[in-house]
Amino acid sequence: MRILVVGGGGREHALIWKLAQSPRSEAIYCAPGNAGIASLAECVPIAANDIQALKAFARERKIDLTVVGPEEPLTLGIVDEFEAAGLRIFGPGRDGARMEGSKAFAKDIMQKAGVPTAAFRQFTDYAEARAFVTAASRPLVIKADGLAAGKGVFVCRTAEQALEALERVMAHHEFGEAGARVVIEDCLTGEEASFICLTDGITVMPLPSSQDHKAVFDNDEGPNTGGMGAYSPAPVVTPQLHARVMQTVMQPVVDTLRESGIRFKGILYAGLMIEGGVPSVLEFNVRMGDPETQPILFRLKSDLVDLIEAVIDERLHEVSIDVDPQPAVCVVMAAGGYPGTYEKGLAIEGLDRAAGLAGTMVFHAGTRRQGPAVVTNGGRVLGVTARGTSIAAAIDTAYRAVSSISWPGAHYRSDIGGKALKR
């Protein structure tokens, strides 16, 4: 089978690493890929959101299966376009992708499905939003309705902070059309977890639980990033909580979507806030998490091609999923300055040394080849992933690999997995 993976981050490197292990995969292409992906797949210089060029490539190279990593092409309707052209592709259509592409739409589905989530209001009028925030006098979360590359959410302790966030989104239009509508919701407290499932629109099959680390510095300090590290499983997701999330969140949402005329096929990812053993949904994503994919796929023993095909062919109820009980940890190494401004093009040392450590894999994110060297090419650069007989052992191995890699200004958190150790 000839496979095309769309995207070029750590998540896509992990997807390709896993797909390449399938006896059914003959050739893998990646658009646009990165330096790490290039050792497993042929990278083609097509942007992940250039749907027409991707479609032309898939036709010309007789691609049998396309797997989409990031959300943007999904919200732009890549699945509808490919299917109309008779091409096989994994992911929800444009209508289902609104679960991530519009926070107001996701809230509406959650309300219909009776899913526990923060109380909210939505506004398109700046003056009305300001009046609401001024009168509320409690911590609020301001969210641009549309896609904002993970930057459109502001957790505001005070009315001043909330007014400033509204100004950025609704007056200065920092996120363009994505901020034409805002969702303002109550601020929840607790511990976050990522609950990521495969679904064919009827059956829901959970992948292993995981936890991301969004803040850039240790102890969850500093601004939010795309994710500075992850581990799987997340002990906060106890067996009871797991059952509760399946019953009160995942299955009702998939059923409600279907009853609304949307057969959702692909990945459905609930970002949870858990307090006192009770889950609430912060958001939905319609793709795998990055960096959660790295430890999750590191633990997955089943053939990923088989699982994806069962989703596309609507027979997910026929397959089961096999997971390595050993925990896995991914530590993200980022460019100094990220998530603010940072330098690119710095030579990365020590990749071979890290690759020699048993039970580890260095997934590339923002990297590119420059002559014989691999150089930095983004904010998140590497996802150093390791397994262990315990979470402590996995953490230890991951950091051993991290300490053998360097470039000027490289930054990583030193407490990835710490919350799991505390439990």
Q: Which residues bind ligand AMP (CB under 6 A)?
A: 118, 141, 143, 153, 155, 185, 187-188, 192, 214, 271, 282-283
Q: How open is the CA angle 368-373-377, to the nearest 5 degrees?
A: 25
Contact partner, 155, from ligand GLY, ligand AMP, none, Cβ < 5-8 Å per class: ligand AMP
Find the binding residues for ligand GLY in span 232-291 (CB under 6 A): 285, 289-290
Contact partner, 141, from ligand AMP, ligand GLY, none, Cβ < 5-8 Å per class: ligand AMP
Contact partner, 227, from ligand GLY, ligand AMP, none, Cβ < 5-8 Å per class: ligand GLY
Of 148 and 357, the one with the shorter C-beta distance to ligand AMP is 148
Going by their DSSP bridges, the two strands 278-285 and 266-275 should be labelled as antiparallel
Q: How far apart are CA 206 and CA 239, in angstroms?
A: 12
382 forms beta bridges with: 333, 364
**Binding residue for ligand GLY (CB under 6 A) from 227, 279, 366, 378?**
227
**Residue 194 CB, nearest distance to ligand GLY (Å)?**
7
CB 198 within 8 A of CB 316: yes
Q: How far apart are CA 210 and CA 245, in angstroms?
A: 14
Label residue 191 exposed, middle or buried (CB < 10 Å: 0-12, 13-18, 19+). Answer: middle
Residue 198, C-beta contacts closer than 8 angstroms, at least 6 positions apart: 204, 205, 207, 266, 267, 307, 311, 316
**Residue 370 CB, nearest distance to ligand AMP (Å)?**
34
Residue 279, φ and ψ in degrees, nearest 5: -90, 145
**Binding residue for ligand GLY (CB under 6 A) from 81, 145, 212, 309?**
212
**Residue 194 CB, nearest distance to ligand AMP (Å)?**
9
Half-sphere exposure of 330 (CA within 13 A, CB side): 38
**Residue 232 CB, nearest distance to ligand GLY (Å)?**
12
Of 95 and 290, the one with the shorter C-beta distance to ligand GLY is 290
CB 389 within 8 A of CB 396: no
Of 110 and 351, the one with the shorter C-beta distance to ligand AMP is 110
**Residue 118 CB, nearest distance to ligand AMP (Å)?**
4
Structure tokens at 181: 């509508």
Of 141 and 351, the one with the shorter C-beta distance to ligand AMP is 141
Structure tokens at 248: 């009160």
Of 29 and 284, the one with the shorter C-beta distance to ligand AMP is 284
Number of H-type helices and E-type strands within the chain: 15, 22
- Binding letters toward ligand GLY, positions 290-329, x by CB under 6 A: x-x-------------------------------------
Residues binding ligand GLY (CB under 6 A): 212, 227, 285, 289-290, 292
